[in-house]
Amino acid sequence: MKKFHVLAALIFCMLLSNVVAFAAPGDKLIKLGMRGEDVQMVQKSLLEKGFYVGEIDGVFGNATLKAIRDFQISNGLVADGVVGKETLLYLGRPGSAEGNPSRFGRSLTMSASGYSAYDDGNSNHTYGGNLVRKGLVAVDPGVIPLGTRLFIPGYGYAIADDIGGAIRGDKIDLAFDSHGEAMQFGRQRVTVYIVD
């Protein structure tokens, strides 16, 4: 009988060693030097929350590292620049980073218009050198410094990354991914919350 228990235990151990374990989201650390879909997902979340301005290219470089550290600091997390379970949890929360707009330090009422890379006469790159896309906005740097993180209700989180000849004083241009979206937005009065 003892031989049977020993044999059963041995077979059980052999079977366990052949089991393939699948990692749950956050089980795998996402860090500097990595590439792939996991990094793209992190970059997209950081862009939507107004922390990242680079391309969604799936390459975890210095721009992604800085964005993650800024996001971690903003959420009271350990700012190690590594995306583990806790950072991933916060990245997935709607409105994480700053909570609701009433908690932001300063707000401005501005005249906003939409623009895109596909509008006549526009470049497809911002003044900061990034592709024009939703989440990047043109400002008067004398009013809102370039690099400032913003929140605009109805538009979302954004980064001041562009300037324009007609953008002076209380005017702001909100970038969109298509000409149609920019035209649909048109010109509106918006409240711009300063996140930084």
Q: SS in 3 state form for 99-168?
A: CCHHHCCEEEEEEEEEECCCCCCCCCECCCCCECCCCEEECCCCCCCCCCEEEECCCEEEEEEECCCCCC
**112 and 79 within one domain:** no
Query: pLDDT tens, 27-82?
Result: 689 999 999 998 988 998 888 888 888 888 999 999 999 999 988 887 778 889 99
Residue 164 falls within a domain, yes or no? yes
Q: Does the pTM of the predicted model rise above 0.85?
A: no
pLDDT band at 18 (very low <50, low <70, confident <90, very high): very low
**178 and 106 within one domain:** yes
With 60 as the cut, is the pLDDT of residue 23 above it? no
Q: Considering its fold, how many domains does the chain have in total?
A: 2
Share of residues in the chain with pLDDT > 90 (%): 41
Residue 151 falls within a domain, yes or no? yes
**186 and 105 within one domain:** yes
Q: Which of 130, 138, 140 is nearest to 162 (CA)?
A: 138
Q: Which of 98, 112, 122, 104 is nearest to 154 (CA)?
A: 112
Q: Which residue shows structure tokens 């809102």?
A: 144
Residue 146 half-sphere exposure toward CB, CA atoms < 13 A: 12
H and E: helices and strands count for the chain = 5, 6
**64 and 125 within one domain:** no
Residues spanned by the domain of 168? 101-194
**108 and 62 within one domain:** no
What DSSP state is assigned to residue 29? -
**177 and 141 within one domain:** yes
**179 and 121 within one domain:** yes
**177 and 142 within one domain:** yes
Give bridge partners of residue 73 from the DSSP assignment: none
CATH of the domain at 55: 1.10.101.10
Give bridge partners of residue 13 from the DSSP assignment: none
- Give the integer Cα–Cα distance in Å for 99 and 138: 24
